Amino acid sequence: MSVALGTSETIRIRLSEAMVSYIFIRDGLDGCVDLGEALFLGVVQGLGEWLPVSSEGLVTLFSRLMFGSGFEYALSVAIWLHLGTLFSALLYLRKDVRLVLQGFTGDKEGRRLLRFLTVATLSSAVSAAPLLLLLRGLELSDRPFTVMVGFLLIGTALVQRQPVSGEQSIDTRSALVAGLLQGLSIMPGISRSGITLAALVGLGFNVRDALRLSFLMSIPAIAAAQILPPLLTSEFAVSFEMFAGAFAAFVVGLLTVKMLLSAAERIDRRLFMIPLGLAIVLLGLLL
């Protein structure tokens, strides 16, 4: 009897080990999130993109704390899900996008916008590249990573300036400054919209024009960033779940963009960013 029980226990243990191995191999090939998780993260991305928070930081944070993803994989998923809100931005800003395209055919205003976006995108790559090398291979435990996201969000809030009246011309200097700062948002916790808005308002743009330029800047930057997930980790793979998550981000982003951007224009962003940052820091300390 004891021998039979021992054999049965051995078989049970080996079956469990085989199941664990299967799950590990499956996750390595198809990604570490299932459909429900991908949809949830897509909703977070769709809401967070238009608010002065780091949607990348929030998605990475949720992916780590709720679903146990490693840092590089979680960051790769966060970057990929921006693809959904990229198409939301293209639809919402379609008139401005059409104007930029007309810049190729000689339209004066379109040419200025095209030059602005080109300089901003190239300067973003310059500042993002060294940070990407730093992030690649970085493994932070949940506590320091969560605290880092919170403090970076608070830091972004502290550089916000009160809006000014009047108009500022779209020039190369503005594109260079805003683009360099946009590249810093590769760090989870630094709000891309928050830091570019702070830069553009500081350069003399009113809030409405700063919002418009900030989200136009996001379109080529997000498109270029889609080459990064496979470079960050070999675990990332484009799958049905990843497309579903990006689609969720697209739908939620499209449904909420007008309302959330209108709120962001009227409300002092610091009143939202600082409490959220403090809450995230507190969460990290309690982990």
Report which of residues 233 and 191 the model is more confident about.
Answer: 191
pLDDT category at 275 given cuts 50, 70, 90 is confident
Report which of residues 70 and 279 the model is more confident about.
Answer: 70
pLDDT category at 284 given cuts 50, 70, 90 is low
Any idea where the domains of the chain sit in the sequence? 31-286
pLDDT at 234: 72
pLDDT tens, 14-53? 544 444 333 333 343 344 678 999 999 999 999 888 877 7
d(CA 165, CA 210): 12
Cβ contact 164:204 at 8 Å? yes
Report which of residues 197 and 88 the model is more confident about.
Answer: 88
With a cut of 80, say whether residue 81 has pLDDT above it.
Answer: yes
